[in-house]
Structure 1
Amino acid sequence: MSPLRLDPPNPSPLPHHGESPSLSLRPALIHDWLTGRRGGEKCLEQLALLFPHAPIYTLLHQAGSAGPILEAREIRTSWLQKIPSVSRRYRGLLPLMPMAVRSWRLKPGEFDVVISFSHCVAKAVRVPEGVPHLCYCFTPMRYAWDARAEYLASIAHPLKRAVASRVLDRLKDWDRATATGVTRFLALSRTVQDRIARHYKRDALILPPPVDTRFYTLSHNPDWPRERFYLCVSALVPYKRIDLAIQACNRLKRRLIVIGDGPEAAKLRALAGPTIHFLGWVDDTVIRDHYRRAFALIFPGEEDFGIVPIEALACGCPVIALNRGAVPETVDDTVGLRFEEPKPDALAEALLAFEARPPIDSRAARRKAEPFAVERFTQRFLEVLRQTVAAPLTLKDNASSHTGSIPHPHLGSSPRAGSVETAANPLQFNPSSHS
């Protein structure tokens, strides 16, 4: 299947402030959960700004966690919200999430289009008959597909692991089946596009997520020498592999500043030596200041895309990253260095190699980030949204050969008969080709 990227031949201009965007549409916005302001929430923010009256449906919401733009919107939660302390326990509620997302009843006539932002179950929302559904897919359900082995390996008890394996089998079938309820998929990278093709047998257009390049900028004097500390900005969860950065900097006695928090925080603090410093979550101004000063950002995990490296590049900060996931699409030798194996020794060798090289030009790093600006994202998202709303039947009817025979599991309710698209409309957007 040839890769599809998004590049509308005649993109419509963005609405000016106060104008009604995109055909005065009435969208419903669907998001898995709102428990922080990370990359997915930053994508959702842009649609919330374009459609300020659109309600946001989300499984659960930790009040105050999602940033002022989303907190000011109408947020409609599921029955999971009623579970005591749910914002601290939601990761353990995965088996209940299919039922929760299918419990919403979007009213016919209330919405012109449904837009889901999905890395877990959001794409499985019930959509009224005749209403198109555009899914911006961060990844197919990670736990059931590409991170299944790691997830099961983290469960020590054999019986619990066997039960979890059965649950994941059911979730995988359900996740594949509910993909038929999506009119069109957008993928945030080639990596995610490939997963959608493998797991859902669907094509997807690639639209990289937005980065606020108006906020993340070079310092007033980008030619100043960068300070001798490395930086990680990340949720502290296992797949981010911040442990690799800590172990490598421990061995080399390099200073490392870790910005972020999460369930791995205590474990990582115990692993850290005297040159490792944890700041927890800080505001964006502090993060920007660290991007501008750091010797380099370390990005050691395999990511679906990775907004953090683009933010760093926008501030002129070089990036040292694991050469997996979407990193080959965003980081090259002109702005940093890639290492091949997710091992402390490999990262330590990369740090030494980077230190031996001439300094990276901060302005070159900035140029690498500019194609990912918010304005480009919103312009292209609106173009695809208009096309999806204008011709949903064409999209549905284009390649039934990709539908296949999909089993319907007994988790939640069976999906609405949905649409299937193919490469009939190969719009492309290649960030490297846009100045």
Structure 2
Amino acid sequence: MKNVAIIHEWLTTYAGSERVVEQMLREYPESDVFAVADILPENEREFLQGKTPNTTFIQKLPFLKKLLRHYLPLMPMAVEQWDLSGYDVILSSNHAVAKGVICGPDQLHVSYVHTPIRYAWDFQAQYLRESNLTWGIRSMLTRSILHYIRLWDKVSSSRVDAYVANSHFIARRIQKCYGRTAKVIHPPVDVDAFTPTYEKEDYYIAASRLVPYKRVDLIVEAFRKMPDRKLVVVGDGPMFKSLKANCPANVELLGYLKHDRMSKLMQGAKAFVFAAEEDFGITPVEAQACATPVIAYGRGGSLETVIDGVTGCFFAEQTPDSIVAAVETFERQHGHYDLSSIRRHAEGFRPERFRKELSDFIAAEWAKFDGHRRHQPHHQDPVADPQFADGPDQRPVVIGDPLGMTLS
């Protein structure tokens, strides 16, 4: 295995999937990076280790920062235009189109899947509802585009030789959408960036982007029903203004905070409350790195990052009442939690573990792939075969092939 190409979707901010690419680059420092578009701010480019990503024609389209996601219908064609013929291994970081690159038969393509493209598969109804696209001409157009994306996504899934999922939850989605099995390797979490604190204060914390599927609104409504308990919400996004306008007195919305201040709040919190159905969910692990228990919705990736009764507890439904019941259960039991055990659990998600598991998997897949490739029989060209020594005119003629060219 010599040359490695790392394929990412689009580079807009340093977030969860970019942290995965960062660790891929640390493991394969000589690799080249490809992305549909690159609009990363200068102060967030350090993880690229000085590399300039190879982009597509989408990079030159107008109003890129504002309209990038509107160019989604063009992205399947865009990723198919790269010439990757000089690489032995293609390593894609996929949540939309990255896995759809075109490779040759002598190239190994391993795809690390954060999720099959959500809004084209099982999250389509939710996406249309939250975007006010449930009826009308715009709805029909959007549904047609998503149908096209879904068909392409299924077809392009066969271009991958080996799948890696970031959770067992996503492995099941890969099986459902693509009919393929996947190795599970949990993503890296910078646990050491968070210092555990074993003296807790009397408040709860929620931290995430304020977008509908994170369901922070449900957490706020739950604490409205518990006026004697304090909630601190960290994060910004489209829902900030609406939440702020109807915020109860015991809930404090702080907006975006830098890492140092947010981590201090997370360290001091009695518990971290998490209501989203996430593919994996990095922030609950970060909370546990602070030795802070997690109260989480018991579906999706949270089931793989939180140990019920040991590092936190679950609620069964995405409703305020279910969250209230979980908080009340936690209040009765929180004295029994071993906070040092919570920190130790989080340490199992360190980046070093991710790099080793991923590199071991790729090395094993390459050994199988290369061995199979080397032992394939080489079929002889009919022109070079002695039985056709008189030249190409002696090739077998297929009925319906007037030019005398064999069809395959």
Secondary structure, aligned partner of 1:214 = helix
Selected match of 1:342 from 318, 328, 334:
318
Higher mean displacement: 327-336 or 51-60: 51-60
**1:202-228 C-alpha deviation (Å, 9 max, x unpaired):** 110111111122222313xx2x2x122
Take 2:316 and 2:101, find their aligned partners in 1: how far apart are those partners?
38
Distance in 2 (CA, whole Å) between partners of 1:184 and 1:255 is 47
> CA shift at 1:88, angstroms?
3.2
| Counterpart in the other structure of 2:89 | 113
In structure 1, what is the equivalent of residue 263 of structure 2? 288
Mapped pair 1:101 → 2:101: no
Q: Does 1:142 align with 2:90?
A: no
Deviation at 1:183, TM superposition (A): 0.9
1:363 deviation in Å? 0.5
Greater CA radius of gyration, 1 or 2? 2
- 1:287 deviates by 3.0
Structure 2 residue aligned with 1:184 = 162
Partner of 1:50: 27
Q: Aligned with 1:356: secondary structure?
A: helix
After superposition, the C-alpha distances for 1:380-427 in whole angstroms (9 at most, x for unaligned) are 11101112222226789xxxxxxxxxxxxxxxxxxxxxxxxxxxxxxx
Aligned-pair distance for 1:173?
1.2
Q: Which residue of the partner structure matches residue 276 of structure 2? A: 301
Q: How many angstroms apart in 1 are the aligned matches of 2:151 and 2:296?
A: 33
- Equivalences for 1:35-184 in 2 at 5 Å? 35-64=12-41, 66-70=44-48, 72-106=50-84, 108-109=85-86, 111-154=87-130, 155-156=132-133, 157-184=135-162
Which amino acid in the other structure matches residue 168 of structure 1?
A: L
Q: In the TM superposition, what is the alpha-carbon distance from 1:158 to its structure 2 partner?
A: 2.2
Look up the SS of the partner of 2:193 in the other structure: coil
Superposed CA offset, 1:337-372 (max 9, x none)? 100111112112222221222332210111221221
In structure 2, C-alpha distance between the alignment counterparts of 1:86 and 1:133, rounded to whole Å: 29
CA RMSD of aligned residues (A): 2.1
Residue from 226, 230, 239 that aligns with 2:204: 230
TM-score (norm 1): 0.79
1:279 and 2:254 are equivalent in the alignment: yes
Contact 2:13 2:40 in 1 (8 A): no
Structure 1 position 373, deviation (Å): 1.6
Give the TM-score normalised by structure 2. Answer: 0.84
| Amino acid across the alignment from 1:190 | H
The answer for the alignment partner of 1:4 in structure 2 is: none
Q: Does 1:27 align with 2:1?
A: no
Provide structure 2 residue ranges, at least 5 long, that are not aligned to the other structure: 374-408
* Larger relative contact order (CA 8 Å, sep ≥ 6): 1
Local SS of the residue matching 2:120: coil
Corresponding position of 1:196: 174
Residue of structure 2 in register with 1:362 after alignment:
339
Q: Given residue 299 of structure 1, which amino acid in structure 2 is its aligned partner?
A: F
Aligned match of 2:191: 213
Judging changes above 3 Å, is the alpha-carbon distance between structure 1 residues 206 and 72 closer, same or farther for their aligned structure 2 residues?
Answer: same
Does residue 313 (structure 1) correspond to residue 288 (structure 2)? The answer is: yes
List runs of 5+ in structure 1 lacking aligned partners. Answer: 1-22, 397-435
Contact (CA 8 Å) 1:134, 1:182: kept in 2 or not? yes
Q: CA deviation at 1:152?
A: 1.8
Look up the match of 2:363.
386
1:407 aligned partner: none
Q: What secondary structure does 1:277 align onto?
A: strand
Query: Could you tell me how far apart the structure 2 residues matched to 1:70 and 1:286 are?
Result: 26
C-alpha distance 75-274 of structure 1, shift in aligned 2 (>3 A): farther
The answer to whether the Cα contact below 8 Å between 2:92 and 2:98 also exists between their aligned partners in 1 is yes
Going from structure 1 to structure 2, the CA distance change for 1:298 and 1:202 (only over 3 Å counts) comes to same
